[in-house]
Amino acid sequence: DTGVSQDPRHKITKRGQNVTFRCDPISEHNRLYWYRQTLGQGPEFLTYFQNEAQLEKSRLLSDRFSAERPKGSFSTLEIQRTEQGDSAMYLCASSLGQPPNEQFFGPGTRLTVL
Amino acid sequence: KNQVEQSPQSLIILEGKNCTLQCNYTVSPFSNLRWYKQDTGRGPVSLTIMTFSENTKSNGRYTATLDADTKQSSLHITASQLSDSASYICVVSARDSNYQLIWGAGTKLIIKP
């Protein structure tokens, strides 16, 4: 257990529905990251926050995806109008933001879109 | 283009044997290189982090090496155990974007009794 928690661990939804995932980072970590991972591949960067500010978004993050970190603590990732291609593991990580900026990962949320 | 390539894609060895996993990268300017272990259905867990000046680092039965000149790294696992079965992912961070990591696709290691 790294200290980063994610909820839910698994989500099955029908195409077109909206889903929201939550990440609780290690409490003193100011940086929070979201990644997506498909089978047999390494994680792909989606976005990251420093405190409550969203500082970078990948081009992978279409306008159906939105992430928030309202008080600089927990974060949510929402996917609107889900598509089958959104099926993946969604990973959250947190770090102190100082070199070497080691990131600690949560267990992930497995999304299946039917 | 910043890339990380790993080999082999998968590996099966008998319990107790040693193995070495390879990582080549083209990330520039280089900041650090990490090896993560990822069990099926779980998040990655950091094994080692090495900066430019470090050429070897150990964590128990795991030993990582780094050759910054040839841009190659290896992860050596000694006396493998069944619990070592996992994916091992090489990750490189560029100096000018330390918030973003360039991930390899991983090597899937299976330890058989």
Q: Is the pLDDT of residue A99 over 70?
A: no
- Confidence (pLDDT) at B76: 98
- Confidence (pLDDT) at B37: 96
Q: What digits encode the pLDDT tens for the residues A25-42?
A: 999 899 999 999 998 888
Among chain A residues, the shortest Cα distance to B98 is held by A101
Query: Which residue from A110, A43, A35 is spatially nearest to A65, judged by alpha carbons?
Result: A35
A interface toward B at CB cutoff 8 Å? 2, 4, 31, 33, 40-45, 48, 50, 55-56, 89, 91, 93, 97, 99-108, 110
Residues A40-50 as b or e (16 or more Cβ within 10 Å = b): ebbbebbbbbb
Query: Could you tell me if A58 and A45 are in contact, meaning their C-beta atoms sit under 8 angstroms apart?
Result: yes
- Confidence (pLDDT) at B96: 66
How far A39 CA lies from chain B's nearest CA (Å)? 10
What confidence tier does B38 reach under pLDDT thresholds 50, 70, 90? very high
Instruction: Tell me which DSSP letter residue A94 carries.
Output: E
Q: Is the pLDDT of residue A48 over 70?
A: yes
d(CA B18, CA B61): 10
Instruction: Tell me which DSSP letter residue B104 carries.
Output: P
Q: Is the pLDDT of residue B98 over 60?
A: no
Q: What digits encode the pLDDT tens for the residues A68-95?
A: 999 889 999 999 999 999 999 999 999 9
- Confidence (pLDDT) at A106: 95
Q: Is cis: bond before B29, omega within 30 of 0?
A: yes
Q: Any chain A CB within 8 A of the CB of B33? A: no
- Confidence (pLDDT) at B22: 98
Interface mutation target, options A105, A110, A111, chain B, most CBs of B under 10 Å: A105
